Chains A and B, each alone.
Chain A
């Protein structure tokens, strides 16, 4: 059986998406809805916004992000996410490995001739 585009995307997202979430938080604290909106405009990184929340819970459990409550003008207080030092380290490690990984995949897709 040939896996469809969706299946391939799902596999590719694993391991990459959580670092994309960390990257959103590199320079600013954001609340869930903000992160969801930034990650889903084209549906490549995340097909449904809701899947962000288990991911955030997992990142927080792993100590990579932290949450703080902040009052909002428009409604109930919001839970803002920020990077912890471990989160920063994890993001830096991903940035280091991502480029060689991406280049290696691109090279392989062209038949292995650099």
Chain B
């Protein structure tokens, strides 16, 4: 092989370009870098002076322009883009699980639907956090975000309403347990699905 152009400016230029092309698939990145390298070898004599190196690099254009072209037509890379963080949806699920447990306990111990809803208000602050975290969960679809954000209040109000209806229709009876448990299982299933999606 014949000598390659070595000049601090050329080396710095190629290093910058390589860093900027970080998000490009390795084969393509190598091809772009080799093309630019070849271009430099072809247009600079070994031992070229600073002025001619600067002129050739100026004609190549800023490394950013080359990188922009390489990224053209695909999503711009960002450090967080490749691995969207999971802690928001996972934490939201954990808070929701606590909330559902609270609803279950208050359903068993409370004296009536209003007491269930009143004790559910104790969880208002954690729920606000779960709501915000759900909305920030980038690994979830918009529908999943909404489901996670509204799971707790929907279960709580549903439970209160169900109790009120059952008490009015049937009165206090063991039979009331069946729809209550069904509603709770439904909420739990939604939560399990959300958790699975969050951990995927």
Could you say which interface size class chain A belongs to? 20 to 34
Question: B66-93, CB under 8 A of A: which get 1 and which 0?
Answer: 1111101000000000000000000000
Interface set, chain B 7-53, CB cutoff 8 A to A: 17, 28, 31-32, 34-36, 38-39, 41-43
Q: How many A-B residue pairs have CB under 8 A?
A: 77
User: Which DSSP category, helix, strand, loop or mixed, fits chain B's interface?
Assistant: helix
Contact across chains for A79 and B69 when beta carbons are under 8 A apart = no
Flag the segment in A20-28, A56-64, A91-99, A102-110 that touches B.
A56-64
Contact across chains for B62 and A36 when beta carbons are under 8 A apart = no
What is the minimal beta-carbon distance from B72 to any residue of chain A, in angstroms?
7
Residues of the B chain whose Cβ atoms lie less than 8 Å from the Cβ of A52: 35
Residues of the A chain whose Cβ atoms lie less than 8 Å from the Cβ of B2: 75-76
Question: A75-87, CB under 8 A of B: which get 1 and which 0?
Answer: 1101100000000
Using a CB–CB cutoff of 8 Å, the interface residues on chain A facing chain B are: 14, 31-33, 36, 40, 47-58, 60-61, 74-76, 78-79
18 other contacts beyond A52-B35, A78-B42, with CB at 8 A cut-off? A32-B39, A47-B61, A48-B61, A48-B62, A48-B66, A51-B66, A51-B68, A54-B67, A54-B69, A56-B35, A57-B28, A57-B31, A57-B35, A57-B70, A74-B42, A75-B42, A76-B4, A79-B34
